[in-house]
């Protein structure tokens, strides 16, 4: 018998003696992959849940220490003297400094320092994620901080109210568009 023939016979016997159960091995591999995918989803969901819990704790506790945007107790320990919640509507006039803000605006001051803003249909900017705080009789807000007032400090306004009217007087604001909407408008309570 030749060497070549002996090798073929030996390899044939070896091949016959090794018979892997492909179905079992495939199922095992697929199960490991499903388990790994499930663990990734659980980890991602846990991360999102932890971030939501942290944000809730920050909102309920008044924000980061020293953060002046979130509602908090002032450093002298007094509480805010003005409570500002409710819906107010106003007609903003077209101004040379802010022609894009002309039209009917609605401000809804909600609990925990959230300001829901409804802009006129022609306004192209961002009005979501607006925050405010009240310290004494002063309102601080970041309205338009994502576009028109980007990079500018918070606007500060004195709050006065008579019946169903709300007046905001500029204390310090370097953003003319925010001043045009907030301080140069008469705000009336609306349902």
Domain boundaries, the chain: 3-61, 86-189
How many Å apart are CA 33 and CA 25, to the nearest integer?
A: 12
Distances 112 to 120, 141, 170, 188 between C-alpha atoms, Å: 25, 13, 23, 22
Q: How far apart are the first and last CA of the chain?
A: 103
Tell me the mean pLDDT in the region 55-80.
52
Residue 118 phi/psi, 5° resolution? -110, 120
For the stretch 164-177, pLDDT in tens is 888 899 999 998 88
| CA–CA separation, 155 and 143 (whole Å) | 8
Cα 113 from Cα 105, distance rounded (Å)? 19
Q: 0.85 cut: is pTM over it? A: no
Q: What is the mean pLDDT of residues 66-92?
A: 59
* Per-residue pLDDT at 138 exceeds 80: yes
pLDDT tens sequence across 11-62: 888 887 777 788 888 898 999 999 999 999 998 999 888 888 888 877 776 5
* Statement: residue 83 has pLDDT above 60: yes
Q: Are strands 86-92 and 103-109 parallel, antiparallel or unpaired?
A: antiparallel
The lowest-confidence range among 4-8, 153-157, 158-162 is 158-162
| Cβ neighbours for 175, distance < 8 A, ≥ 6 positions apart | 144, 148, 149, 152, 155
Closest CA to 185 of 145, 153, 125, 143: 143
What is the predicted pLDDT for the residue at 65? 42
């Amino acid at each position: 018998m030749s060497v070549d023939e002996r090798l073929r016979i030996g390899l044939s016997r070896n091949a016959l003696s090794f018979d892997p159960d492909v179905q079992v091995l495939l199922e095992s591999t697929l199960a490991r992959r499903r388990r790994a995918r499930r663990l990734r989803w659980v980890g991602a969901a846990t991360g999102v849940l932890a971030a939501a819990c942290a944000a809730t704790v920050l909102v309920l506790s008044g924000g980061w220490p020293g953060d002046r945007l979130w509602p908090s107790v002032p450093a002298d320990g007094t509480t805010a003297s003005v409570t500002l919640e409710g819906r107010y509507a106003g007609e903003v006039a077209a101004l040379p400094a802010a022609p894009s803000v002309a039209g009917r605006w609605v401000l809804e001051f909600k609990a925990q320092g959230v300001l829901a803003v409804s802009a006129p249909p022609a306004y192209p900017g961002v009005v979501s994620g607006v925050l405010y705080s009240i310290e004494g009789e002063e309102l601080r807000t970041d309205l338009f901080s994502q576009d028109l007032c980007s990079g500018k400090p918070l606007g500060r306004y004195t709050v006065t109210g008579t019946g169903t009217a709300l007046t905001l007087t500029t204390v310090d604001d370097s953003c003319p568009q925010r001043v045009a909407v907030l301080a140069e408008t008469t705000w009336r309570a609306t349902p």
